């Protein structure tokens, strides 16, 4: 009898140990999943926006050519590469207007929207700060550190930002979110769209299309004149994109009418 009791006790203790280990593994998996679902995407947005804004500001400050070719190519290439590298972690937004349109089109959770935007704004400040630290004050001040300066009519500038952001967010949502039109070359398409928009509207509004890209250099250079234009215009463009996709262009799951 004592031998049987000993075997039963050993079996019971071993079984309890296995259950405890399994529970610990499940708990570790849950913590890892929470990190990958909520923390890691925000870090990717912070890191990606920092690099994007740094390249964008540096291309403006160090522009040795005439016109917008150098900034246009630099912005487009940097964005396309960063989306390819970090897109599987966070979606590769790096832009509050893009995050807003993606959320409204059903491409991300509401709980991530505000953290994404805060991470993008912080990344914009980091990227602009790196640019300021890299260049001499005379070269940096001559171009306002890559900050945007409204030279023309405020209404037309805001309209230009809205239209160009509409084009950008439409490409993002249709190429990366909408299931019927999703494509693996979305990063390439998005980068080319940014390049085309800067070439088309760079002389009019600077072709910002990104409040984080405007906010970071504004903080670093302390240049806030008509800064609101680069929030209102892109936000309106993102809202228009969401309306068009939800009402007309989205797939069966995305559309709210004409099911």
Q: Tokens standing for 50? A: 């920092």
Ordered per-residue pLDDT tens for the chain, 259 residues: 555 555 455 444 445 555 555 565 556 566 668 999 999 999 999 999 999 999 999 999 998 777 789 999 999 999 999 999 999 999 999 999 999 999 999 999 999 999 999 999 999 999 999 999 999 999 999 999 999 988 789 999 999 999 999 999 999 999 999 999 999 999 999 999 999 999 999 989 999 999 999 999 999 999 999 999 999 999 999 999 999 999 999 999 899 888 7
Listed by start position, the domains of the chain span 42-249
Q: What is the pLDDT of residue 136?
A: 93
Query: Quick one: pLDDT at residue 33?
Result: 86
pLDDT of residue 12: 47
The two tokens of residue 68 are: 């917008």
Inter-residue contact 113 to 40 (CB < 8 Å)? no
Q: Which residue from 45, 121, 33 is spatially nearest to 87, judged by alpha carbons?
A: 45
Where is 88: in which H helix or E strand?
A: helix 69-90
Is 42-249 a domain of CATH 1.20.1080.10?
yes
């Amino acid at each position: 009898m004592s031998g049987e009791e000993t075997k039963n006790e050993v079996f019971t203790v071993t079984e309890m140990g296995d259950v405890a280990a399994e529970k610990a593994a499940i708990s570790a998996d849950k913590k890892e999943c929470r990190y990958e679902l909520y923390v890691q995407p925000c870090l990717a947005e912070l890191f990606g926006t920092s690099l994007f804004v740094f390249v964008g500001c540096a291309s403006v400050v160090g522009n040795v050519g005439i016109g917008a070719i150098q900034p246009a190519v630099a912005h487009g290439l940097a964005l396309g590469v960063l989306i390819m590298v970090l897109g599987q972690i966070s979606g590769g937004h790096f832009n509050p207007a893009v995050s807003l349109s993606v959320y409204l089109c059903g491409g991300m959770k509401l709980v991530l929207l505000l953290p994404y935007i805060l991470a993008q704004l912080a990344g914009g400040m980091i990227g602009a700060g790196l640019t300021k630290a890299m260049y001499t004050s005379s070269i940096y001040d001559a171009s306002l550190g890559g900050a945007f300066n409204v030279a023309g009519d405020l209404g037309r500038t805001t309209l230009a930002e809205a239209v160009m952001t509409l084009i950008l967010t439409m490409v993002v949502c249709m190429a990366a979110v909408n299931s019927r039109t999703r494509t693996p070359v979305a990063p390439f398409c998005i980068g080319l769209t940014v390049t085309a928009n800067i070439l088309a509207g760079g002389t009019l509004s600077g072709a910002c299309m990104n409040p984080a890209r405007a906010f970071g250099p504004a903080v670093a250079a302390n240049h806030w004149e008509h800064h609101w234009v680069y929030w209102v215009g892109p936000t309106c463009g993102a809202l228009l994109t969401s309306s068009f996709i939800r009402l007309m262009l989205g797939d069966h799951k995305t559309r709210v009418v004409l099911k």
